[in-house]
A and B are shown apart, each in its own frame.
Chain A
Amino acid sequence: MKFSVSSSLLVVCTAALLGGALPAADFPPYDGTTERDAFWSYYNKKVLEGLQSQEKELPALIAKETDAAAKAEIETQLAMTRERLKKPEYFTFAKPEDVPADLKWENGMDEPEIGDPNAKKGGTMRQYILSFPPTLRILGENSNSSFRGYHYDDVEMSLINLHPETGRVIPCVAKEWAVSPDSRTVYFRIDPDATFSDGTPIEADDFFLQFYMQLSEYPKNPFGNQWYSENYSNITRYDARTLSISLTEAKPLAPYYVSTSPLSRRFYSEFGPDFEQRYQWRCRPSAGPYVIHEEDIKFGRSVTLSRVKNWWAKDKKFYRNRFNVDYIVYRVVRLQEKVMELFRQGELDVEQLMMGIPEYWYEKLEIPEVHNGYIHKAKYYNIWPGSHGGLWLNLASPPLDNKELRLGLCYATNYQKVIDFDLRGDFQRLNSFSQGFPLIGDPPLKARPFDVQLAREHFAKAGYTKRGNDGVLINDKGERLSLTILHRKSEILQKVMQRLKEEALKCGLEYKLEGMDSTAYFQKATQKKHQIASVAFSVTPPIPDHYQAWHSKDAFMEDGKTPKPNTNNLTSFADPRMDKFCEDERHATTIEEIRKASWGADQIIYDEAPWIPAYEQNYYRVAYWRWVKWPERTFNVAISELPMSSHVHWIDEDVKRETEDAMRSGKTFPETDLVFDQNLKSGGTK
């Protein structure tokens, strides 16, 4: 009894430390529904006023603007505003008969099934997280932590999905959908079976709630505010199970772009100014197969996801035989080394994140558990663009404004040696920004190789002609060719950077290394306080996005000199040609147009050399205890970033018992080291 009191005290204290959270009951009751219902007309008015004032202001801007390209851009903006003004309403409540009659409804049922029919339900999957999640909210402060992927992005259901093998649209919460002839509006009919895990049916209003919460200023959510106001022009409810969503401009794959998840009206009825505190640890009813129960949040220790037993989609074609595990326990393990030990002891079932590192894969897995066949290894060639890793040169920081110098840096940066030496040839050189998007293909560009001669020639053109005593080049003003690389402090990255430094010295270039912990380093880079930053942006298929990293609007403040803080344009790169390509890429309506824009932008990046691409891997590796089963022939789905995120695996309890018995009696199984290369495309690396 005494124990339970003190432990519950401890939990409360930890909870208080973890964000000032109070139990749900301690918040005074609040009803946000009236405010919500008033929001629709309020926001419609706001949008209308915004559009009208834009229509008034833009012509004046056009008159003032001298640059032809910028002028053309404002003109398209004006045309778009006028187009939207024809139907300015953002939230529309219509009648069922308002749905156009001539729509071509699709249901995607011809696509192949995803799950494996041999899959068994049940079991507990034990995984780890490196730190306890700061919140369980999906919106607002600190919500964008890696844990959100596990309990929301990977398992929540949205209107439609893309098939992870064919890339085509498959139904999800929406049973059918239809795209308007102008490719701007998509109509959805919600599956009549669809319910939240608390049993309430999913209705069109639950998608309205998603829009409401994303547009609201109560949670700190600038990205959502911007995305929902700039990309969508309308959401219409026709009846409880029919809705349409419109984009501000036509896009290829429109259903994918408008697809969003429902949020339960009942659960979020207390949405208000104190949303972030009130909902910090509340467990949301889900449209997906997993929910978190309040008693499964063990503060500082673990969070458990439980399978919804009578999930509405459990027998639907694309969702059956997936999401098989009954419980997924995410246990906090703060040290990487400890993760490996726990995995070895069978306390964790799967290790997926550290297996990309050659040392772990080759040496730390040369253990009896692997040799005796208790732990299996698999390598899977997936289809997922590699992250945009590389060195981002800040052009606003002299001498990096000199193009010859940047070209010299490209030749003086020996990523190939890093690949051969430190990464044991497991990676390959990344060649361009849009590499690895199967839809548009790889641009015909090759990263510049390490070449002492060429590097020195370019440095000489940049004015660095003399050699100092330490072998570092000096220009006429007596400045040494010395540049600082900002990077995240981790064992492997430190090694990579030191290798680059050692090799660069051969070209007369000195790299100074500044390793910082991950938050601080990224902050410094986005504040543009770096000279060179080694950053890898993660990338999501199916289309590359140059806009975020290269558009000039994110390069400088109004004065045109000071780099603009808090943007992803880490190179302070401003080039009207590039802006054109970036916008074309976002506004493109066909794959051909996207390809033209992406490849064009890549050519500029290649020519101007503000970015030195690093390396990428076209497969992932995973080690797992033999009771974790995967589809036998295919192992996983092609379009997947990590093995677990597609949830096609299952746990075989019989095999688990058999393995545990075998380990006790000393019986061994054949060593298993599988390779699945069905996605390794002929005629290229990917």
Chain B
Amino acid sequence: MNRKLSITAITLGALAILGELCGLLIPTVSWFFSIGPWFGWISSLLLIVLGILGLLFLPREIRWTPVTLQRFRRFRSIGRGWWSFRILLALVAVAMLDQAIVGKRALMVRCDGKTYFPAFVQKRYQAKDFGLEGEQEASYRELKQVLSTQKRGFVLMPLVPWDPVLDTDTLQSITLEQRDGKWFKPGDKEPFSGRARTSYADAPTLKHTDTRFRKGVPDGESLGYAKNGGLALSAFYKAGVKEREKWTGEMPQTEFEAAAVSPYEMTIYPPIPPLWKASHYLGTDSKGWDVLAQIYGGWQVNLKAIVLYLAFTYGVGLIVGSLMGFLGGVFDITFQRIIEIIEELPFLYIVMIVVSIITVAEMNLVILLGVICLFSWTSLTYSLRALAYKEKERDYIAAARLQGASTWRILTRYLLPNMLATVVTNVPFSVAGIISSLTALAFLGFGLPETYPQWGWLFDDGINHLSALWISISMFAAMVFILLLVTFVGEALREAFDPKKFTTYQ
């Protein structure tokens, strides 16, 4: 087990450095360097060093104590928790696939005999590299259509071909059809009511007329636009009959009326409902960003946050808490007061104040978590302190001390393993806590900038657009599902680590 972990750490670090040096983007591994070069180098080198140290100094296998093995067995025997744990692991694995399943860059492009892998290299191909116009980054969804119509190759897109953030679709529209002089939405029995527009046939993005329909015929305002976008005509219909019209002179009337136009289409403005033809499986939010991609991206951000948060709060909490209990005296009293002060501060408000001083624009995940951790490492200390006080009076500690064991050795070899149960059973609650905190902060507008996909933003958008049910329902379902899984695992862990097999609550 130790050996496997060490080798994995070395591989991860090496892959990260290799990817950075060769200009590759390997899913998940490339994340170290995406935070910043210093973070990338430090973390990947640290992984390699730790891995090597582990190989050299740790025993090949961990010798679990029979009690621990017993606990594992009990955990596995609790069906609901064990299944939740496995589903969570699977979800983590899916999240680690990263741009291979969710993203706007193509997995593979075959164009004019050459092959590219845009999703997996750091280089951003420009539109002109594929024979399109312009120096902006190629839009692979567009390229897919171009290549297939021109028969110059193919594009393989990820399963969800959208970036979680800052990636908007062009406006989607549904072409109306005319039956017995009335306009209908395809497949509808009721005539169309709403707004529909026609476009210039030679320039489909330029609108020609924009008309309000009631019961299949123009009724109400109808605006005509010249090719330069200026208002050319303001007309008014009543039950399909033009009541009056006013020409602004932006475009001659004859020319306007003679222009070739497309049939009426209904434009779907964001939020777009789930639309398979546009690969929006769960629709989009009001900005036009894909909901599924955002949920996925938010899950990834949460996972990163969980790793950093647990590493910091549990690291500091364990050390400070056990030392407080073990050393006692002045050290204990000093930290007790410090902790009391920190605990009295209203955590969310403090984070909000700090975020508004740093400004959301300058925020990133590491800073935000730093701020959160600064105020939450205290949560674990008190229970560990109590535990350490209790344990240190036990005979086995006294025996170790008599044998001349150092404080460090007593702490790591004897005390820590006996406090593990408390720590492990706390983890799921911390996980649920940090997910909710991040979501709440984003919901209130004090989270990360819009370059990070965040669940809180989706919630906010869903609440502001209650008629677009797909936003709030998908987000709600996803969050409840994840939190349920975490809670089930937590319950199972608590039960498995409970020294009494049967407990009767009174």
A, B: real partners: yes
Give A459-508 interface residues, CB cut-off 8 Å to B: 467, 469-471, 484, 489, 491, 495, 498-499, 501-502, 505-508
A: contact size bracket? 35 or more
CB distance from A490 to the nearest CB of B (A): 11
Closest B residue by C-beta to A451: B134
A495 contacts B287, C-beta separation under 8 Å: yes
A685 contacts B230, C-beta separation under 8 Å: yes
B287 contacts A498, C-beta separation under 8 Å: yes
User: Contacting chain A: which of B175-183, B337-345, B356-364, B420-428?
Assistant: B356-364
Give A356-375 interface residues, CB cut-off 8 Å to B: 358-359, 362-363
User: Contacting chain A: which of B5-13, B78-86, B154-162, B163-171?
Assistant: B163-171
Which residues of chain A have C-beta atoms less than 8 A from B212's C-beta?
673
A453 to B134, CA, bound (A): 6
**B207 interface residue (CB < 8 Å to A):** yes
CB distance from B452 to the nearest CB of A (A): 12
- The listed residue (A416, A420, A507, A682) touching B136 by CB distance below 8 A is A507
B122 contacts A469, C-beta separation under 8 Å: yes
A425 contacts B207, C-beta separation under 8 Å: yes
A140 to B360, CA, bound (A): 35
**B397 interface residue (CB < 8 Å to A):** no
A681 to B234, CA, bound (A): 11
B236-256 contact mask (Cβ, 8 Å, vs A): 1 or 0: 100000000011111000000
User: Contacting chain B: which of A142-150, A509-517, A641-649?
Assistant: A509-517
A421 contacts B168, C-beta separation under 8 Å: yes
A452 contacts B136, C-beta separation under 8 Å: yes
CB distance from B450 to the nearest CB of A (A): 5
Given contacts A453-B135, A471-B137, A685-B248, contact A515 B445 (CB under 8 A): yes
A424 to B195, CA, bound (A): 11
A359 to B270, CA, bound (A): 10
**A684 interface residue (CB < 8 Å to B):** yes
A675 to B238, CA, bound (A): 12
A416 to B229, CA, bound (A): 10
Which residues of chain A have C-beta atoms less than 8 A from B360's C-beta?
513-515
B231 contacts A685, C-beta separation under 8 Å: yes
**B449 interface residue (CB < 8 Å to A):** yes
Give B343-394 interface residues, CB cut-off 8 Å to A: 356, 359-362
Given contacts A425-B210, A428-B229, A680-B246, contact A502 B166 (CB under 8 A): yes
A456 to B356, CA, bound (A): 33
**A379 interface residue (CB < 8 Å to B):** yes
B124 contacts A673, C-beta separation under 8 Å: no
**B269 interface residue (CB < 8 Å to A):** yes
Give A407-451 interface residues, CB cut-off 8 Å to B: 416, 420-422, 424-425, 428-429
**B216 interface residue (CB < 8 Å to A):** no
Closest A residue by C-beta to B450: A498
Which residues of chain A have C-beta atoms less than 8 A from B464's C-beta?
337, 491
**B504 interface residue (CB < 8 Å to A):** no
A416 to B206, CA, bound (A): 12
**B214 interface residue (CB < 8 Å to A):** yes
CB distance from B239 to the nearest CB of A (A): 10
A506 to B221, CA, bound (A): 36
Closest A residue by C-beta to B170: A421
Which residues of chain B have C-beta atoms less than 8 A from A489's C-beta?
445
**B54 interface residue (CB < 8 Å to A):** no
CB distance from B278 to the nearest CB of A (A): 15
Which residues of chain A have C-beta atoms less than 8 A from B467's C-beta?
363
* Dominant secondary structure at the B interface: loop
Given contacts A498-B450, A514-B360, A685-B230, contact A506 B249 (CB under 8 A): no
A513 contacts B449, C-beta separation under 8 Å: yes
Given contacts A513-B450, A514-B359, contact A671 B214 (CB under 8 A): yes
Which residues of chain A have C-beta atoms less than 8 A from B207's C-beta?
425
Which residues of chain B have C-beta atoms less than 8 A from A358's C-beta?
269
**B474 interface residue (CB < 8 Å to A):** no
A456 contacts B166, C-beta separation under 8 Å: no
Which residues of chain A have C-beta atoms less than 8 A from B361's C-beta?
484, 512-514
- The listed residue (B171, B195, B221, B269) touching A675 by CB distance below 8 A is B221
Which residues of chain A have C-beta atoms less than 8 A from B449's C-beta?
512-513
- The listed residue (B168, B210, B221) touching A673 by CB distance below 8 A is B221
**A100 interface residue (CB < 8 Å to B):** no
A-B contact count (CB 8 A): 100
B300-334 contact mask (Cβ, 8 Å, vs A): 1 or 0: 00000000000000000000000000000000000
A174-216 contact mask (Cβ, 8 Å, vs B): 1 or 0: 0000000000000000000000000000000000000000000
**A683 interface residue (CB < 8 Å to B):** yes
A495 to B270, CA, bound (A): 11
CB distance from B162 to the nearest CB of A (A): 12
B248 contacts A501, C-beta separation under 8 Å: no
Which residues of chain B have C-beta atoms less than 8 A from A422's C-beta?
287
Give A48-67 interface residues, CB cut-off 8 Å to B: none
A495 contacts B286, C-beta separation under 8 Å: yes
A684 contacts B287, C-beta separation under 8 Å: no
A498 contacts B166, C-beta separation under 8 Å: yes
A682 contacts B249, C-beta separation under 8 Å: yes
A506 to B139, CA, bound (A): 10
B168 contacts A499, C-beta separation under 8 Å: yes
**A677 interface residue (CB < 8 Å to B):** yes
CB distance from A628 to the nearest CB of B (A): 20
B186-214 contact mask (Cβ, 8 Å, vs A): 1 or 0: 00000000010000000000010010101
Closest B residue by C-beta to A446: B228
B269 contacts A424, C-beta separation under 8 Å: yes
Which residues of chain A have C-beta atoms less than 8 A from B249's C-beta?
682-684
A682 contacts B248, C-beta separation under 8 Å: yes
- The listed residue (A337, A362, A416, A675) touching B234 by CB distance below 8 A is A675
**B288 interface residue (CB < 8 Å to A):** yes
A363 to B464, CA, bound (A): 13
CB distance from A506 to the nearest CB of B (A): 4
Which residues of chain A have C-beta atoms less than 8 A from B362's C-beta?
512
A452 contacts B122, C-beta separation under 8 Å: no
- The listed residue (B137, B171, B270, B445) touching A420 by CB distance below 8 A is B171
B266-290 contact mask (Cβ, 8 Å, vs A): 1 or 0: 0001100000000000000011100
**B40 interface residue (CB < 8 Å to A):** no
**B220 interface residue (CB < 8 Å to A):** yes
CB distance from B40 to the nearest CB of A (A): 12
- The listed residue (A362, A471, A484, A680) touching B248 by CB distance below 8 A is A680
Can you name 26 A-B pairs with beta carbons within 8 Å? Answer: A337-B464, A359-B286, A363-B467, A379-B221, A416-B229, A421-B269, A425-B207, A428-B231, A429-B229, A452-B134, A453-B135, A456-B135, A467-B124, A498-B287, A501-B166, A505-B137, A505-B166, A506-B134, A513-B449, A673-B220, A675-B221, A675-B234, A680-B234, A683-B249, A684-B248, A685-B248
Q: Which residues of A contact B (CB under 8 A)?
A: 337, 358-359, 362-363, 379, 416, 420-422, 424-425, 428-429, 452-453, 456, 467, 469-471, 484, 489, 491, 495, 498-499, 501-502, 505-508, 512-516, 671, 673, 675, 677, 680-685
Given A420-B171, A421-B270, A515-B360, list of 7 further CB < 8 A pairs? A363-B467, A379-B221, A469-B122, A471-B124, A502-B168, A677-B234, A680-B248
Report the 6 A-B pairs with minimum CB-CB distance, sorted nearest first: A506-B136, A514-B361, A683-B249, A512-B361, A502-B166, A682-B249
Q: Which residues of B contact A (CB under 8 A)?
A: 122-124, 134-137, 166-168, 171, 195, 207, 210, 212, 214, 220-221, 229-231, 234, 236, 246-250, 269-270, 286-288, 356, 359-362, 445, 449-450, 464, 467
